[in-house]
Amino acid sequence: MKKYYPYLITVSHMINDSCQSVLPALLPLFIYTYGLSLEQAGFLILANTALSSLLQPLLGYISDKINQPRLIAFGVLLSACSTGMMGFVTSYESLLVCATLAGVGSSIFHPEGAKIMNRL
């Protein structure tokens, strides 16, 4: 099974980063659908990327202290489900929660994925 780890991590990373890349591409649709201002649209991106970037060092430190490869699956699932839910929400606030959770999922995935790839 270990010989498949690089492929699993690679596919997981592709899915995770694809979820992060969808939000900027969908901003024009969200602006039109919800009547968002440019500030609100920009804050969606800020909530997603800033939280992800700020949490990664902390989660990397925690990841070094515990051995939980399941965090990879949890991070990807959180990111993918949150991104998918953006298509079903009906308010800006819900969209903001989804964008934030997608960023948290990304920040959970990256440190653990890097640790596992480094150990292979």
Per-residue pLDDT tens, the chain, 120 aa: give them: 678 888 888 898 899 989 889 999 999 999 999 999 999 999 999 999 998 899 999 988 988 888 777 888 999 999 999 999 999 999 999 999 999 999 999 999 988 888 888 887
The pLDDT value given to residue 88: 96
The pLDDT value given to residue 115: 85
Q: 40-46: list long-range contacts, CB under 8 Å, 24+ apart.
A: 40/92, 43/96, 44/95, 44/96, 44/99, 45/99
HSE of 113 in the Cβ direction (CA atoms, 13 Å)?
A: 24
The pLDDT value given to residue 37: 96
Q: What is the pTM of this model?
A: 0.89
The pLDDT value given to residue 1: 63
d(CA 11, CA 93): 31
Residue type at 10? T
Domain ranges of the chain: 2-119
d(CA 80, CA 15): 8
Q: Calculate the alpha carbon distances from 110 to 5, 77, 94 in Å.
A: 15, 13, 25
What DSSP state is assigned to residue 86? Answer: T
| Residues 14, 60, 47, 81, CA torsion sign | positive
